[in-house]
Amino acid sequence: MPLVLAFLVVLAARALPEEHRLRGARLGVVAATCAIVSVVGILCALSGINW
Q: Give the domain extent around 32.
A: 2-48
Tell which phi-psi region holds residue 24, choosing left (phi > 0), alpha (psi between -120 and 50) or beta.
left
Q: What is the pLDDT of residues 1-45, one digit of tens each?
A: 789 989 999 999 999 999 999 999 999 999 999 999 999 989 998
Please report the pLDDT score of residue 51 as a whole number. 58
Tell which phi-psi region holds residue 21, choosing left (phi > 0), alpha (psi between -120 and 50) or beta.
beta
The domain total for the chain is: 1
pTM: 0.78
